[in-house]
């Protein structure tokens, strides 16, 4: 007992000394709580909205046979890019050449009959002023001549039809683009009822089509009304792997109807799709964007705008929405309701509720209440609100970051 009492007293003295030192280090000895603050300052950001879209070729052609014939050969590499007018398929020509020759012979026969009818008409017409002439003979030979002239026209039309059919035996590419697999091989009989022989899709530029909710479409329209409308919007694309595509595009179409099932409006933009020079597959040119590919579409304003920015840590949320604690006159705390713009994990932009220079509490939020007097000081660490931190953030990002 005599040994333990001094030890207890020693511990008590040490605790009392530590408490005294802690109280001595407290500012003001129990004064207002210290908080870290920043001032709301403007920063330049690029407004961005994000949607899910699909890449579509601007032109798509299904190559079909126009006549019935044997397929002699295929003159393209599947998956390659073809030029407009390039020969794709060669059909058997001999039957069509024979038919054309027969039709040309029919023209020659009709022309001979017309020539004979014309001579007969002229003879009958020359005799009309003589006792041997008869008006009925003139009328009859004239009708025969006109009938034979019509036969010549019909025969020429048949020749033209045969020439067209002969031309159909060589199937050419109607557009430039990338051709897919061939549905038939040489030796098969093809006809108009055979269906699609191959499909060609244009490659550069490509369209990107994406649905936008009617609410977002109206908001986008208001946002860019003073900046040239949708023509001032820049389209960026995030590829399926998450990598940003290095080309930008422009909006060129807004649909004129709203989908009754999804309450969305279809928007479309055009974006370049140059070849990837270093990548060849089977000798075929490869490009980044593929018809039918799903992508993430980012709509960006052409010009940055100025918005107030504060640290994201200063923003709190309750059932009524977002708010911050601000320090006003006499260092009193006030609860200020705000509306957020685009945000990142570290920085939030404020569209309404704050003014430039307003003092916002960042550190010590858990120990302050509205109406309480505080001792403000610089927030630590300081806010970094570089415009690049907000560039490319999405329309949905402000909500997801809360």
Domain's final residue, options 119, 142, 167: 167
Q: What Cα–Cα distance (Å) separates residue 176 from each residue in 74, 179, 200, 273?
A: 17, 9, 8, 14
Q: Which residues lie below 8 Å from residue 272, measured CB to CB, with a gap of 6+?
A: 204, 205, 206, 247, 249
In this structure, are residues 384 and 312 in contact, taking their beta carbons and an 8 Å threshold? no
* Range 113-119 average pLDDT: 88
Q: What does pLDDT average to over the chain?
A: 81
Q: Is the pLDDT of residue 46 over 70?
A: no
Residues 316 and 392 in one domain: yes
Domain's final residue, options 249, 274, 301: 301
Q: Is the pLDDT of residue 386 over 90?
A: no
Domain CATH for 265 = 2.40.30.170
In this structure, are residues 238 and 246 in contact, taking their beta carbons and an 8 Å threshold? no
Residues 152 and 182 in one domain: no
**C-alpha neighbours within 13 Å on the C-beta side of residue 220:** 25
Domain's final residue, options 248, 280, 301: 301
More confident position, 306 or 252: 252
CB atoms within 10 A of CB 94: 10
Asked if residue 214 belongs to a domain, the reply is yes
Residues 130 and 81 in one domain: no
Asked if residue 6 belongs to a domain, the reply is no
Asked if residue 10 belongs to a domain, the reply is no
Domain CATH for 118 = 1.10.287
Asked if residue 323 belongs to a domain, the reply is yes
Residues 124 and 146 in one domain: yes
Residues 193 and 219 in one domain: no
CB atoms within 10 A of CB 277: 8
Give CB contacts under 8 A, 24+ apart, made by 136-142.
Answer: 141/117
Residues 211 and 261 in one domain: yes
| Exposure b/e, 2-20, CB count within 10 A at least 16 = b | eeeeeeeeeeeeeeeeeee
The whole domain housing 342 covers: 31-45+305-400
**Tokens matching residue 335:** 């609860």
Q: Which residues lie below 8 Å from residue 99, measured CB to CB, with a gap of 6+?
A: 162, 165, 166
Residues 274 and 322 in one domain: no
* Range 153-163 average pLDDT: 93
**Quick one: pLDDT at residue 171?**
95
Asked if residue 22 belongs to a domain, the reply is no
Domain CATH for 333 = 2.40.420.20
Asked if residue 219 belongs to a domain, the reply is yes
What's the CA gap between 12 and 362, in Å, rounded?
Answer: 38
Residues 74 and 118 in one domain: no
Asked if residue 26 belongs to a domain, the reply is no
Residues 87 and 179 in one domain: yes
**Tokens matching residue 13:** 């003295």
Q: What total of structural domains would you count in the chain?
A: 4
**pTM of the complete model:** 0.64
**Quick one: pLDDT at residue 220?**
75
**Quick one: pLDDT at residue 228?**
62
Domain CATH for 192 = 2.40.50.100
Residues 82 and 174 in one domain: yes
Q: Is the pLDDT of residue 124 over 60?
A: yes
Residues 272 and 337 in one domain: no
Least confident stretch, 22-36, 77-91, 287-301, 318-332: 22-36
More confident position, 136 or 95: 95
Asked if residue 177 belongs to a domain, the reply is yes
Residues 154 and 111 in one domain: yes
The 10s digit of each residue's pLDDT in 184-217 is: 999 899 999 989 999 999 998 999 999 988 888 8
């Amino acid at each position: 007992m005599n040994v333990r009492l001094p030890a207890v007293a020693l511990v008590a003295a040490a605790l009392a000394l530590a408490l005294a030192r802690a109280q001595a280090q407290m500012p003001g000895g129990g004064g207002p709580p210290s908080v870290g603050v920043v001032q709301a300052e403007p920063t330049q950001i690029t407004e961005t909205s994000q949607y899910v879209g699909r890449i579509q070729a601007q032109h798509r052609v299904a190559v079909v046979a126009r006549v019935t014939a044997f397929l002699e050969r295929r003159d393209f590499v599947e998956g390659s890019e073809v030029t407009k007018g390039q020969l794709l398929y060669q059909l058997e020509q001999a039957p069509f050449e024979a038919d054309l020759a027969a039709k040309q012979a029919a023209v020659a026969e009709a022309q001979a009959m017309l020539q004979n009818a014309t001579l007969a008409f002229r003879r009958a017409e020359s005799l009309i002023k003589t006792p041997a002439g008869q008006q009925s003979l003139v009328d009859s030979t004239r009708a025969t001549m006109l009938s034979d002239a019509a036969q010549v026209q019909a025969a020429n039309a048949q020749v033209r039809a045969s020439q067209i059919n002969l031309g159909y035996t060589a199937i050419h590419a109607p557009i430039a683009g990338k051709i897919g697999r061939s549905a038939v091989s040489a030796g098969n009989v093809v006809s108009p009822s055979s269906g699609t022989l191959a499909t060609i899709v244009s490659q550069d530029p490509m369209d990107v089509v994406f649905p936008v909710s009617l609410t977002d479409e109206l908001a986008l329209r208001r946002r860019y009304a003073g900046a040239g409308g949708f023509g001032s919007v820049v389209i960026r694309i995030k590829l399926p792997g998450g990598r940003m595509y290095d080309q930008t595009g422009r909006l060129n179409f807004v649909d004129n109807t709203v989908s009754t099932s999804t309450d969305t409006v279809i928007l479309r933009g055009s974006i370049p799709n140059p070849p990837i020079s270093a990548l060849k597959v089977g000798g075929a040119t490869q490009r980044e964007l593929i018809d039918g590919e799903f992508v993430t579409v980012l709509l960006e304003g052409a010009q940055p705008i100025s918005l107030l920015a504060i640290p994201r840590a200063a923003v709190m949320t309750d059932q009524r929405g977002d708010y911050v604690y601000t320090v006003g006159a006499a260092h009193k705390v006030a609860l200020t309701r705000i509306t957020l713009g685009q945000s990142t994990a570290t920085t939030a932009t404020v569209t309404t509720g704050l003014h430039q220079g307003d003092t916002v509490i960042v550190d010590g939020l858990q120990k302050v209440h509205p109406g309480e007097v505080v001792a403000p000081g610089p927030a630590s660490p300081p806010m970094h609100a570089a415009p690049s931190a907000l560039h490319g953030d999405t329309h949905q990002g402000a909500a997801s970051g809360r």
